[in-house]
Structure 1
Amino acid sequence: MSGTGSVLDGKEIILGITGSVAAVDDVRLAHALRRRGARVRAVMTDAARGIVHPDAITYATGEETITRCSGMVEHVTCCGDGGSADLLLIAPATANTLCKIAHGIDDTPVTTFATTALGSGMPVVIVPAMHESMYRHPGVVTCLSILEEWGVRVVEPRIEEGKAKIADIRDIVIEAERAVSGKPLEGKRVLITSGACREEVDDVRILTTRSSGRMGEELALQAYRLGADVTVVHNGTIPCIRNVHIESAGDMREAVHRICREAPVDYYISAAAISDFVPRRHEGKILSGETVILELVPQPKIIREVLEAEYRPKHVIAFKLGWDSETAAGALLDEGVDLVAANTPDTLGAPSGRYVLLGREERREIEGTKETVAAGIWDALL
């Protein structure tokens, strides 16, 4: 499988599989990691082999599955000092295994790989899966805290039906990407406004745009992969980051100012199709069949207020939509914006598009999926 330009391109991941029934998801997980460009090799406990056959995992990874540590000292060649691997990802991790790792107990291939990886300083990500009562056990809670103190990233399970179920595969892949990215944005606070706003016309109707929020989502996920603390103000939900839910432009404006006041923001990216006009609201429901004239009231420009505020973020990035967007971008740069992504209206709601990135001293073009564009924007900022 070929890479996609993701941070997993060319990275080697050791996938540790333990004896949870969630091990059946590892075939899909291995494929998902490989689609992102990673080389995956699995190591299994005896208990895991009773749930999913090593041949199935070998097929999914394209590499021979390790079921015992042999005289080839695979744990050292992969996860030891100067080892070939970039990440040890244990998914699923049972209560038994994670508690053994937290106490340095080495009696399965997976725990042996973990001891070696932790000793060499390699990134380790653990994805627990067990019954909810086991997940709440004081000893398990303590062991998870120990692992986190050691720098292990613990991906929280989904609590459903009395079980602490393994996290979604998409979330696990994103956490793997963050673990191997080098985290150039670690310690940085990123605020993104995304998607469309919804302005009430009457009790049942709204005025909005065709924005899907995909560009903001990809910018947020890329920032998270690169180690940032990310907050997105929008009306959707993005995994792994802090979601602040809003409906209207007024809600978005209030949320942006509140978040900027809470703590210094390093990067503010205005990727939302924020309502320039809000209709004067009709009380009740406008009767069908009537001719109605809507009065549109102009709204304050959030980005201009942010630029002028005493809590102005260190870096401000804007999107400018319109057929003359490159010309209009110049005014934003003059007002203090660091970078403008200029695009035409046909990109609104589309999965891909062409963007021109304009800075004070540079101009570059990016064309492709919005994930590709988001990665290009962060490349330009770093």
Structure 2
Amino acid sequence: MSDLLADTNVALGVSGSIAAVKVVELAHELRRHGASVRAVMTGAATGIVHPWAVEFATEHDVVTEITGRVEHVELCGRDGWADVLLLAPTTANTVGKVAAAVDDTPVTTCVTTALGAGVPVVCAPAMHEPMYDHPGVLDAIDRVESWGVEFVDPRIEEGKAKIATEDAIVTGVARAAGERPLEGKRVVVTSGATSESVDTVRVLTSRASGRTGRAVARALAARGADVTLLHDASAAGEAGDPPWADVVDVESAAEMTDAAVEACADADALVSAAAISDYTVEAAGEKIRSGKESLTLELTPTPKLLDTVRAEYPDLTLVGFKAESEGDEDALVERARQTLERVNLAFVVANDASVMGAAETRALVVRDDSVGEVAGEKLDLGLRVADELASDLSE
């Protein structure tokens, strides 16, 4: 379990979209990241998923009507229980009612109360694509956004505006409900492996999965930053492009370095978590024919991305990552500090190369005068990086 939503009370408003069948999994995911969840359902939603299922997922009674207990005030009033109100799914009907301040369901009544009380509201729309493209629905979304309501954009697939992924919704909730020490800051993140073409088919690459870089980008977004992520989308596999960052697709070390120099022109910081190739090779114009004869490749060192960016932007805040496969912890810290001093980095995240591709990690946060330890999910490491960077940028 990560700390992304630690100590956060989430009121979950469920409307009558077929996407309501996802609410049990969504509630579990919110709780997995540390949130407490209490649900409110429209009558239409209860016809799609039974309140008992939602009660089981949240371990709280589900509000299906407003009674003399004034549940909307108890949940979303000025002294209410909720830190944030999440509408997932948000139907065209619901967003239209919210925009018009119509309170004829428990969910819309909670929204009106939350907006009046200053409780953050997050919407995750789900509907058929023609409904999402309706001028009135778009106007309603624009109007509600102008009041400070945040939207987690749907995935447009198969003629439908499908509800966003659980990861995207959880990140949107964290961004809305938590502290945003990086609000107004733009951070560039490099992630994953790079690939050097040997011929038109083969490449030289590493075992890096990009999980750490994507986790760092997600944590930065949750802490309020505008994030640009540089990675190889084809190597990311099913993970694809995360919705919480502007993504630039790159492949080789040279492409990654060029993209970083360009992206950092108006950035406040760069976090280089990618396992960038140290060597490249002159690629053959056609596929090298297979056979039993030995083949020698001449490898040429690639320029160091951090050195290149530092030369271009002497005052930019830079964070490096250092992975080693040999030596003890003292040796790892020493090598991290060598990089720290050479490039004038804010800090270096150092770890053993054995964590590449793993779901969990253990890393050291190395500064000039201190060494901190992080262990757990890679998202927890991302949150530590985000908080350390926020401290540096605030100074």
Task: Pick the aligned partner of 2:53 from 30, 52, 56.
Answer: 56
The alignment status of 1:332 with 2:334, answered yes or no, reads no
Task: Pick the aligned partner of 2:278 from 271, 276, 280.
Answer: 276
Instruction: Please give the alpha-carbon distance, in whole angstroms, between the structure 2 residues aligned to 1:112 and 1:224.
Output: 30
Q: Find the residue that maps to 1:52 and give its secondary structure.
A: coil
The alignment status of 1:253 with 2:260, answered yes or no, reads no
Q: Find the residue that maps to 2:72 and give its secondary structure.
A: helix
Instruction: Please give the alpha-carbon distance, in whole angstroms, between the structure 2 residues aligned to 1:191 and 1:331.
Output: 23
TM-superposed CA distance for 1:329, in Å, is: 2.2
The worse-fitting range, judged by mean Cα deviation, of 351-360 and 19-28 is: 351-360
1:289 aligns with: 292
1:371 aligns with: 379
Letter in 2 for 1:10: D
Residue correspondences, number:
376
Instruction: Please give the alpha-carbon distance, in whole angstroms, between the structure 1 residues aligned to 2:51 and 2:377.
Output: 36
Letter in 1 for 2:227: V
TM-superposed CA distance for 1:239, in Å, is: 3.2
1:326-364 deviation line (CA, Å, top 9, x unaligned): 222223222311101122222233333332211122211
Matches within 5 A, 1:92-111: 92-111=89-108
Q: Is the 8 A contact 2:374 2:381 kept in 1?
A: yes
2:229 aligns with: 232
* CA separation of 1:193 and 1:313: change in aligned 2, threshold 3 A: farther
Displaced runs of 4 or more, over 4 A: none
* CA separation of 1:372 and 1:282: change in aligned 2, threshold 3 A: same
The alignment status of 1:244 with 2:248, answered yes or no, reads yes
* CA separation of 1:345 and 1:48: change in aligned 2, threshold 3 A: closer
1:302 aligns with: 305
User: Which of 1 and 2 has higher RCO (CA within 8 Å, sep 6+)?
Assistant: 2
Q: Find the residue that maps to 1:15 and give its secondary structure.
A: strand
Q: Is the 8 A contact 1:232 1:243 kept in 2?
A: yes
TM-superposed CA distance for 1:278, in Å, is: 0.5
Task: Pick the aligned partner of 2:162 from 159, 162, 165.
Answer: 165
1:204-240 deviation line (CA, Å, top 9, x unaligned): 2111111111111111111111111111111132232
Instruction: Please give the alpha-carbon distance, in whole angstroms, between the structure 2 residues aligned to 1:187 and 1:295.
Output: 45
Q: Find the residue that maps to 2:61 and give its secondary structure.
A: coil
Matches within 5 A, 1:314-333: 314-322=316-324, 323=326, 324-333=331-340
Q: Report the TM-score when normalising by structure 2.
A: 0.91
* CA separation of 1:179 and 1:143: change in aligned 2, threshold 3 A: same
Q: Is the 8 A contact 1:16 1:43 kept in 2?
A: yes
Q: Is the 8 A contact 1:342 1:357 kept in 2?
A: yes
Instruction: Please give the alpha-carbon distance, in whole angstroms, between the structure 1 residues aligned to 2:370 and 2:378.
Output: 21
Task: Pick the aligned partner of 2:116 from 111, 114, 119.
Answer: 119
TM-superposed CA distance for 1:313, in Å, is: 5.9
1:83-138 deviation line (CA, Å, top 9, x unaligned): 11111111111111111111111111111100000001111001111222111111
Instruction: Please give the alpha-carbon distance, in whole angstroms, between the structure 2 residues aligned to 1:355 and 1:340.
Output: 10
Letter in 2 for 1:257: V
Q: Is the 8 A contact 1:268 1:313 kept in 2?
A: no
* CA separation of 1:268 and 1:116: change in aligned 2, threshold 3 A: same
The worse-fitting range, judged by mean Cα deviation, of 217-226 and 351-360 is: 351-360
Letter in 1 for 2:380: T
Q: Is the 8 A contact 1:197 1:275 kept in 2?
A: yes
Task: Pick the aligned partner of 1:223 from 217, 220, 225.
Answer: 220
Instruction: Please give the alpha-carbon distance, in whole angstroms, between the structure 2 residues aligned to 1:320 and 1:105.
Output: 55
Instruction: Please give the alpha-carbon distance, in whole angstroms, between the structure 2 residues aligned to 1:49 and 1:344.
Output: 50
Instruction: Please give the alpha-carbon distance, in whole angstroms, between the structure 2 residues aligned to 1:138 and 1:24.
Output: 27
